[in-house]
Amino acid sequence: MVDAADPLVLDFVEWIAREPRLYSEVIATWRTSCPRLTIWEDAVDRGYVAREAIAGFGLVVIVTEDGERILRQHGRAG
């Protein structure tokens, strides 16, 4: 069964999948003041992305296995 996924959440996960992103970059780029656009929270809650501390680099956001799976299911994985 294919998970129902919001197109903006898929865009977000696909953007992260291109390369691990610094947490600060993710928050600055995907920040919204609209309470109805919970892209970051939805992706984290669904297990598509995760935060990971990398020594000497800082806190980064990466795509999880579930995130890679959902991208493949929607034809967005390379």
Would 40 be classed as within a structural domain?
yes
- State the residue range of the domain holding 46: 7-73
Per-residue model confidence as pLDDT tens digits over 6-30: 899 999 999 999 988 999 999 888 8
Q: What is the value of pTM for the model shown?
A: 0.84
Per-residue model confidence as pLDDT tens digits over 42-72: 999 999 999 999 898 899 999 999 999 999 9
pLDDT over threshold 80, residue 35: no
CB 65 within 8 A of CB 77: no
Would 78 be classed as within a structural domain?
no
Coil vs helix vs strand at 22: strand
* CA–CA distances in Å: residue 40 to residues 26, 33, 55, 64, 78: 9, 12, 24, 14, 22
Residue 16 belongs to domain with CATH number: 1.10.10.10
